[in-house]
Structure 1
Amino acid sequence: MTVPRASRRRAQPPADREPILRAATHLFRTHGYAATSIARVAQEAGVLPPAVFAAFTSKAGLLRAAVEAAAAFDDRTALSWVHDAPSAAEALRRYAGTIAAVAQRAYPIHAVAQAAADADPKVAELVADLDRQRLTGAGYIATAVAAKRGDADLSRVGFLRDTIWALNSPLLYGLLVHQRGWTVAAYRDWIATALTALAVPSPRQ
């Protein structure tokens, strides 16, 4: 006897988050945030809508998980690069490669969140929170680079942090690569040049 599909779904154990996240990411990127419903995500993932809510609470929570998964990076790895690099300039060159790799992966879904932020307060809160997280991570890198170059001036550390934060924004990647047609390699090299220019403190900083 063939069990109806809906019955098979109800018989399944709690849904794995990964298929739901993959389905949501695909739909968000293809159709946008507003046009992607929980029901559509559930259908794409082969689960019932309550399983999506159980795993991610809300559509905004699902978008947050998709953005965070795409932008995942361990700040401790970057800090170890700074510590191990022969100079602050070399540490920042290595970090530029990571910025390019993360931006290439994260920009499409980040752009979805950015586009939806004006119309949805929960998504606006998500975008602001992501910016704060990037600023915190940039602060870790800036502090380590400043120590590497023997610079204890807090105002210059703050300048370096803010510049790293601006340069590692996925939106900047979108402007240069998607809008202006730069290659990812050209973007990476430009980020490296901009960052390494900060390795030696300027009197104006």
Structure 2
Amino acid sequence: MTPISAGKNDGRRARGAASREAILRAATALFSTRGYAATGISAIAAEAGVNSGSIYHAFGSKEGLLQAVLSACADSVFDRIENPVAADSATPSDRLRAAARILVDDPVFLRLFLLLALEKDGDSIVRAAVEEVRSRARSVVVAAIGSTLEDVPMAYRSAVADTIGRLALVLLDGLFVSQQLDSEAADLEQTLTLVTTLTDLALRNITELIP
């Protein structure tokens, strides 16, 4: 390959990457405000400044674009939760509090996820995407909490972590909705204290039942 053709290929790849990023940003913004069903490919193309064919070329379909959007958003959020939570926190409450702060600081992801969750019963593609992200979120929370349960017998540790992880996700859902509905009045630290107190109480009650 000559230097000229190599340069052309590099330029083409760079333009393709830039176009893909623009499409992902546009789709994320529209899916998280309008929902998936109400957002058409033409609207995404217009927002991204590309033609509709570029979207199909890069992602194959609207469903493929949804998967890419959710994967990108989830990777960003869950990577930030896993690293500092694992490194800096020692108790379930500390880890849950750290995770909650990261989630609240990224409202686009949670708004997108909640909108899709409302649509999932009418669309099998959306349902599968939502369930995959939810499963991954639970795994992240369970892994963070599970590593702090040294006092729980090994035979019970996985079940306890899973139960507490499920409860924690429910509480975090409520925390986010509270912040969105009443963002000016809601006190994040006070709400976090309530969430972590309930989690600690549940953990104590569960562990006391273990022989």
Please report the TM-score for the alignment, with normalisation by the length of structure 2. 0.72
Between the aligned partners of 2:71 and 2:47, the Cα distance in structure 1 is 21
Structure 2 distance, partners of 1:176, 1:155, is 33
Equivalent of 1:171 in 166, 173, 176: 173
**Distance change (3 Å), C-alpha of 1:195 and 1:65:** farther
Indicate the residue corresponding to 1:48 in structure 2: 51
Verify: 1:113 aligned to 2:96, yes or no.
no
Partner residue in 2 for 1:102: 103
Give distance in 2, aligned partners of 1:47 and 1:192.
46
CA contact 1:118–1:124 (8 Å) conserved in 2: yes
SS of equivalent residue, structure 1 residue 110: helix
SS in 2 for 1:47: coil
- Residue 44 of structure 1 and its aligned partner are, at CA, apart by 0.7
Aligned to 2:11: none
1: CA distance between counterparts of 2:155 and 2:180? Answer: 35
* CA distances 1:107-139 after superposition (whole Å, capped 9, x unpaired): 211112112211110110011111211222233
In 2, the alpha carbon distance for the partners of 1:102 and 1:53 equals: 31
The residue type equivalent to 2:198 in the other structure is: A
Q: Is the alpha carbon distance of 1:39 and 1:165 closer, same or farther for their aligned partners in structure 2, counting shifts above 3 Å?
A: same
Q: Distance in 1 between matches of 2:182 and 2:163?
A: 24
Is 1:73 the counterpart of 2:78 in the alignment? yes
For 1:160 and 1:130, locate their aligned partners in 2 and report how far apart those are by CA, in whole Å: 19
| Residue of structure 1 equivalent to 2:160 | 159
- DSSP-derived class of the 2:148 partner: helix
Distance 2:155 2:86 in 1: 18
Task: Verify the 8 A CA contact 1:117 1:123 in the aligned structure 2.
Answer: yes
Can you list the C-alpha shifts for 1:143-200, whole angstroms capped at 9, x where unaligned? 21113xx323433442233322332356333443335763433332222323344565
The superposition leaves residues 93-119 of structure 1 with CA deviations (integer Å, 9 ceiling, x where unpaired) of: 243132232145222111121122111
Alpha carbons of structure 1 residues 104 and 164: separation in structure 2 relative to 1, 3 Å: farther
Partner of 1:127: 130
Q: TM-score when scaled to structure 1?
A: 0.74
Question: CA 1:172–1:65 in structure 2 vs 1: closer, same or farther (change >3 Å)?
Answer: farther
Distance in 2 of aligned mates of 1:183 and 1:191: 12
Residues 1:97 and 1:77: Cα distance change in structure 2 (over 3 Å): closer
Alignment partner, residue 29 of structure 1: 32
* C-alpha distance after superposition, 1:54-106 (max 9, x if no partner): 33333233333333444422224322234xx3xx35xx324313223214522
Identity %: 23
Structure 1: runs of 5 or more not aligned: 1-11
Output the CA distance in 1 between the equivalents of 2:117 and 2:36: 10
1:61 maps to 2:77: no
1:194 aligned residue: 198
- C-alpha distance 171-67 of structure 1, shift in aligned 2 (>3 A): farther
Which residue identity lines up with residue 23 of structure 1 in the other structure? A
Compared with structure 1, are the counterparts of its residues 184 and 104 closer, same or farther at alpha carbon in structure 2 (3 Å cutoff)?
Answer: farther
Q: What is the CA distance between 1:36 and its match in structure 2?
A: 0.5
- Give the structure with the larger helix fraction: 2
